[in-house]
A and B are shown apart, each in its own frame.
Chain A
Amino acid sequence: MTETMRPPVAEEADGASPLNRLRLIRWSDFSLVPVILVLMVIGFIVSPVFLTSSNLISVVQQSSELSLLVLGQALILICGRMDLSLESTIGIAPVIAMWLVLPSEGGRFAGLDLLPVWMAIPACLLVGMAIGAVNGFLMLKLRVNGFIATLGMLTMLRGLHIGITEGKSITDVPESFRYLGKTDWLGAPAAVWICLALFAIGGAALAWLRHGRSLYAIGGNPEAARAAGIRVDRITWIVLALGGLLAAFAGILYTGHYGSVAATQGNGWIFQVFAAAVIGGISLKGGRGTLFGALTGVLTLQLVVNVMTLGGVPALWNQFLNGAIIIVALVISRFASGEKQD
């Protein structure tokens, strides 16, 4: 009888017609696509500038750094955890990297001159990974509450950032940062291509890699995952480190693009990150959501800001409208998907 337990070698297509499978797709993952289309129509009506390639490219360019944080956060949320400190990582990781490579005298910012300049990017990524790993240590080994632990980390890293830079912006950005932030590939900024590639890799990993797929099991029911032989703590830890790494990489792109690191780099982003993830269909309780959904969440938020700017809404009202948009988008996606957001 054991033979029947193993998959038959050749399988006749019976119950699994493509149509049958189509019925079981989670349409909620696509609930923001019509919203994006509507926004584009509104944008086109509001201003003829909207549909120009330079405007659209600037929208996706501005989305790229945020989307990397959302990518990291989405993976962490699917695992059933959260990491608030990503918004500080995007600032502190490039600062520490530059601090290590910049010469101790000559520039406006005195570095330590410990590492060669080509080490700037690897050092920055390592710092991000280390922050994620420390978060993992706090949550998984010491079993402290992840929300408060990463909130503490957020505050502490912001303070460290201000302490190291003495509250000033650093403008001596290494050439490697500049290259990644400013180059165009095939008519669009390199950052955009890199983001798309990372989302594609992430989505593929969640769909077709055993460790990627196990994230859903871990977030959905960690005990069941453990009973099925998944190394829950190890994988969660890796995902947290990966989240830090992505945040650090976002920091490189952002720093390179603007040619400086402000003391407030990333300040307040975490709200946008969570908003984008949740309206994109990622459950805060873990185990549910897709990276495609998360990406549509980012695009929705950025398009709204863009359309409002083109529509001549005074910048002073941006913050108010941003908050309002998040709430409206939440309500729309709640009813579009028909699922509770918890």
Chain B
Amino acid sequence: MEQQQRAPAAVHAEGIVKRFGPTVALDGVRLTVRPGESHALVGRNGAGKSTLVSVLTGLHRPDAGEVTFGGEPAPPFGDTSAWQSKVACVYQKSMVVPDLTVAENLFLNDYGVRGSGSGARRLISWRGLRRQARDLLAGYGVDVDPDARAKDLPVEQRQFVEIARALSFGARLIILDEPTAQLDARGIQRLFDKLRELRGQGVAFLFISHHLQEVYELCTAVTVYRDARHVLTAPVAELSKAELVTAMTGESAGTVTAWHAARAEATDAPDPAAEPVLKAEALALDGEFEPLDLAVRPGEVLGLAGAAASGNTALGETLAGMRTATSGRISVRGRTVKPGSVPHALDAGIGYIPEDRHRQGLVLDRSVAENATLTVTGRLGPWGTVLPSRTREFARAMIESLDIKTQGPEQPVSGLSGGNQQKVVVARALARGPSALIALRPTAGVDVKSKDSLLGVVRRVADEGSAAVIVSDELDDLRVCDRVLALFHGRVVASFGSGWNDRELVAAMEGVGERE
């Protein structure tokens, strides 16, 4: 540790300023990551994290300030291969070519023809390439078959391949941008184990995450940015969660968890005798989940917890009509819903917040107003017309009630921050005043404050007498629920009241310690 403190920092950035037109994206920020350190960079959306990553990876030229890698000044702007030998970023979206093998991905645009030492070879030696790939992967202790197609690998193994590739270029600093967003708990564990192992070899990590629990699990130091400025850098061990959240939001932690209070008031609201709003009987989807019964009463929020392959996402999609159940029936307020049809589900009063806002939630090129009213076009004018004035009014009401930060209803959704985009998706689901709201991972990739207001909205919908279902593996999402069912491999393995503790629930989602 002593030695590491004295060695030059893996990366040191000082006084970085970056402006985009009138917007100041980074205002004299600094960051130091020591060799062999996992350093977390946290901040709400818009704090400047992604801009800093672009500066550190040579994609943006800073307007002012200095970056050094291992004590040496950063390569000139535009010299891609020099930057590659210093630093690499593993993005949320995978940068491997899905249809090529692992070996090909590792040596993309090189193929061992250049730099293999055996002179001016022109042809690719496939056997040599595979051997080199195997050696490289083994060197970093990555157990991946070099002949496998990249698309067949689990997400975390694809990330290992990307990390191994970056290390093979000589980079000793790896930036991980929300690496766990697409992973289930087990994948996260494997990723973290690997990162700790590589840290032992002197590799430094800059870890960007919205998930504070992961910061505490993995990182030794944390830097907080807020509104393009540096707020604090401290060892993780000396910083409590509440202090960290305060630093990120600039508010005291009490207000941040307001929905907990709201939940407490509502605990006695669901009347066990009340007729369920949303009911599923013997609902099953082959290969995803086995027959199960659900009943969600008015005022109740039901949590469907489960890891990536547990079937909880498929169950949520089936309830919303995105998938057709193999058997069983769904009913809302006693009326059977035609299976596998979103229009019928909507008519029956099911509102749907899809899992991935980019894939199923938004039409990015179109305006906030258009996206928010996509489910209610039938109500915005007579005879199938959609009147622009009514659309705007409707959107403005939505923007106000959900506190969406936008220039106006006409702004394209692509210009909003992640949290506000998600609010537009929620607006779309609420536009019809649903009697049952199905939310799939409603807070994925949004900042702490948006997270609270989004969960608050779900809670509010239930408190007004509707039913809500949250499908998630995030404990924070599940905390608003009155009842949580844990799914594992397509079966309900446990059911909890509101008084569950984290350990029990996580154990159930991971298939250990089955109850009932």
Q: Which residues of A contact B (CB under 8 A)?
A: 1-2, 4-8, 11, 15-16, 20-21, 24, 207-211, 213-214, 216-217, 220-221, 223-231, 287-288
Contacts and interface: CB of A to CB of B under 8 A. Distances in A.
Contacts of B398: 5
Interface string B360-385: 11111111001000110110110011
A24 B393 contact: no
B430 interface: yes
Given A5-B433, A213-B386, A228 B374 contact: yes
A21 B411 CA distance: 9
Contacts of B354: 223-224, 227
A24 B408 contact: yes
Given A209-B386, A210-B386, A217-B363, A228 B401 contact: no
Contacts of B374: 214, 217, 224-225, 228-230
B226 interface: no
A287 B386 contact: no
The 6 closest A-B CB pairs, nearest first, are A210-B377, A220-B363, A228-B374, A7-B393, A24-B410, A4-B401
Given A2-B433, A226-B322, A220 B397 contact: no
A20 B384 CA distance: 28
Most A CB contacts (10 A, CB to CB) among B343, B345, B377, B464 go to B377
B401 A1 contact: yes
Contact of A224 (B362, B377, B393): B362
A223 B359 contact: yes
9 contacts: A6-B394, A6-B433, A208-B386, A211-B384, A216-B365, A223-B360, A226-B360, A229-B345, A287-B363
Contacts of A8: 393, 397
Given A4-B397, A8-B397, A24-B411, A228 B375 contact: yes
B381 A6 contact: no
Contact of B346 (A20, A214, A223, A229): A229
B342 interface: yes
Given A7-B397, A209-B385, A217-B366, A226 B342 contact: yes
A5 B393 contact: no
Given A210-B378, A210-B380, A5 B386 contact: no
Nearest to A213: B386
Given A220-B363, A287-B366, 9 more contacts: A4-B400, A209-B384, A220-B364, A224-B362, A227-B320, A228-B428, A229-B342, A229-B343, A229-B345
Contact of B375 (A5, A15, A229): A229
Nearest to B375: A228
Nearest to B433: A2
Contact of B390 (A4, A7, A221): A7
Interface of B: 320, 322, 342-343, 345-346, 352, 354, 359-367, 370, 374-375, 377-378, 380-381, 384-388, 390, 392-394, 396-398, 400-401, 407-411, 428, 430-431, 433, 460, 464
Contacts of B401: 1, 4-5
B320 to A, nearest CB: 7
Contacts of A287: 363, 365-366
Given A220-B364, A224-B361, A287-B365, A7 B387 contact: no
B386 A227 contact: no
A166 B502 CA distance: 79
Contacts of B367: 24
A182 B375 CA distance: 46
Contacts of B361: 224, 227
A228 B362 CA distance: 9
A56 to B, nearest CB: 34
A8 B396 CA distance: 9
Given A5-B430, A224-B362, A208 B388 contact: yes
A156 B394 CA distance: 49
A2 B345 CA distance: 20
Contacts of B359: 221, 223-224
A81 to B, nearest CB: 16
Contacts of A211: 384
Nearest to A287: B365
Contacts of B396: 7, 11, 15-16
Contacts of A213: 370, 377, 386
A4 B394 CA distance: 10
Contacts of B352: 227
A225 B361 CA distance: 8
Contacts of B362: 221, 224
Contacts of B320: 227
A239 B235 CA distance: 60
Q: Which of A228, A230, A287 has the most CB of B within 10 A?
A: A228
Contacts of B390: 7
A221 B363 contact: yes
A183 to B, nearest CB: 32
A225 B387 CA distance: 19
B377 A288 contact: no
B397 A6 contact: yes
Contacts of B360: 221, 223-224, 226-227
A231 B364 CA distance: 19
A1 B360 CA distance: 27
A208 B387 contact: yes
Contacts of B364: 220-221
A7 B394 contact: yes
A2 B408 contact: no
A16 B397 contact: no
B464 A2 contact: yes
A16 B389 CA distance: 10
A221 B400 CA distance: 26
Contact of A214 (B377, B400, B411): B377
A223 B398 CA distance: 23
Nearest to B353: A227
Contacts of B428: 228
A243 B272 CA distance: 56
B441 to A, nearest CB: 14
A154 B430 CA distance: 45
A144 to B, nearest CB: 20
Given A225-B363, A227-B361, A5 B408 contact: no
Contacts of B430: 5
Contacts of B408: 15-16, 20-21, 24
Nearest to B356: A223
Contacts of B345: 229
B74 to A, nearest CB: 29
Contacts of A209: 384-386
